[in-house]
Amino acid sequence: MRYKNYSSSDGFILLGFSDHPGLEMVLSGIVTVFYLITLVGNTTVILVSLLYPQLCTPMYFFLRNLSFLDLCFTTSIIPQMLMNLWGQDKAITYVGCAIQLYSYMWLGSAECLLLAVMSYDRFTAVCKPLHYLVIMNPQVCLQMVSVAWWISLANSLMLCTLTLKLPRCGNHILEHFLCELPALVKIACIDTTTIEMTVFALGIVIILIPLSLILVSYVLIAKAVLKIKSAVGWKKAVNTCGSHLTVVSIFYGTIIYMYMQPGNSASKNQGKFLTLFYTIVTPSLNPIIYTLRNKDMKEAMKKLVRRET
């Protein structure tokens, strides 16, 4: 092996799909397409919601934050992933791996919390429409988003620091195409029960508690919607919540399967494909879901295009 003298202090070898060279070429094309869709789609959502005055509401403030987060999340991963898929050199420095791990965990955790914040926004819009703008005033919105970012940063610092401090006894080959936490834990040369339990406990805080809040919000929304007798009211409520609920289902479904199961229960290739899904597919779908299902966003995009042309 060309990396036989390579040590874990120098960095890591990301094997990715190197045992399937043909698959690497196909995946590199797919990843590139989805990355471009993510960049264009999320940038469009941010610009349209900023330039169109009617979209300067709490809902679109959170949507801008989600789009910005998705841009950062994918950019922290995909350029290095493409280098891994395109080239023969699968090495990544220790510093590069650490930066990717911290940013990846920080932004992924932030998305979990931000989706919970957005569910509260939807609950307020449907269940307390007359007080919506008072409750969700700009200061409160900014505070909620700030808390989500800071909690996720603390989670990232704790988990990633514990993971990087694990002794590896010279092991430096990761069965992955990025520096993901489970892959780094697997190459440790000590009993990792403690770190796995810590990951599980923090997973409850970062994943299951926000998900529980989302479910409670939608139960209350469903009760409120069932009391609406007009078809117009039903349609408005569905349009208000449908996009967010779709994004939540896709994102949380994959994350829970990845992080809330025993460490060795998933095959290595299954884990890689799941990671591909929630790192490249989900961020590219978010702007599409919100624009296709959102009448105001579609109308704003049409007006801006007409104004520019």
Q: Are 69 and 114 in contact (CB under 8 A)?
A: yes
- Given the structure tokens 């009448």, which residue do they identify? 295
Cβ-Cβ contacts under 8 Å for 83 (sequence gap 6 or more): none
Cα distance between residue 16 and residue 273, in whole Å: 10
What mean pLDDT do residues 290-299 have? Answer: 69
Q: Residue 259 has what pLDDT?
A: 60
Q: Is the pLDDT of residue 128 over 80?
A: yes
What's the confidence (pLDDT) of residue 39?
Answer: 92
Rg (CA), the chain: 21
Determine the average pLDDT of the residues in 97-123. Answer: 90
Element (H, E) at 195: helix 193-203
The pairs formed by 274-280 with CB atoms below 8 angstroms and a separation of 24 or more are 275/176, 275/177, 275/178, 275/180, 276/27, 276/31, 278/251, 278/254, 279/73, 279/74, 279/77, 279/78, 279/81, 279/178, 280/30, 280/31, 280/34, 280/35, 280/38, 280/74, 280/78
Q: Are 1 and 163 in contact (CB under 8 A)?
A: no
CATH 1.20.1070.10 holds for 11-308 = yes
Helix (H/G/I), strand (E/B), else coil: 173: strand
- pTM exceeds 0.75 for this model: yes
pLDDT value at 232 more than 80? no
Q: Is the pLDDT of residue 211 over 50?
A: yes
**pLDDT-derived band at 107, boundaries 50, 70, 90:** very high
pLDDT above 60 for 262: no
If pLDDT is split at 50, 70 and 90, which confidence band does 264 have?
A: very low
Lowest mean pLDDT of 39-53, 119-133, 222-236, name the range: 222-236
Each residue of 4-63: pLDDT tens digit?
A: 445 445 688 888 777 777 777 888 888 899 999 999 889 988 888 888 877 788 888 998
Residue 8's Cβ-count burial label (10 Å; 0-12, 13-18, 19+) is middle
Domain layout of the chain by residue ranges: 11-308
Residue closest to 114 by CA, chosen among 289, 19, 247? 247
Distances 93 to 66, 82, 178, 263 between C-alpha atoms, Å? 30, 16, 12, 25
Q: Are 293 and 246 in contact (CB under 8 A)?
A: yes
pLDDT score at 237: 64
**pLDDT interval class at 285 (50, 70, 90):** confident
Q: Categorize the per-residue pLDDT at 247 as very low, low, confident or very high, splitting at 50, 70 and 90.
A: confident
Asked if 271 contacts 258 with a C-beta cutoff of 8 angstroms, the reply is yes
Band of the pLDDT at 166, cuts 50, 70, 90?
confident
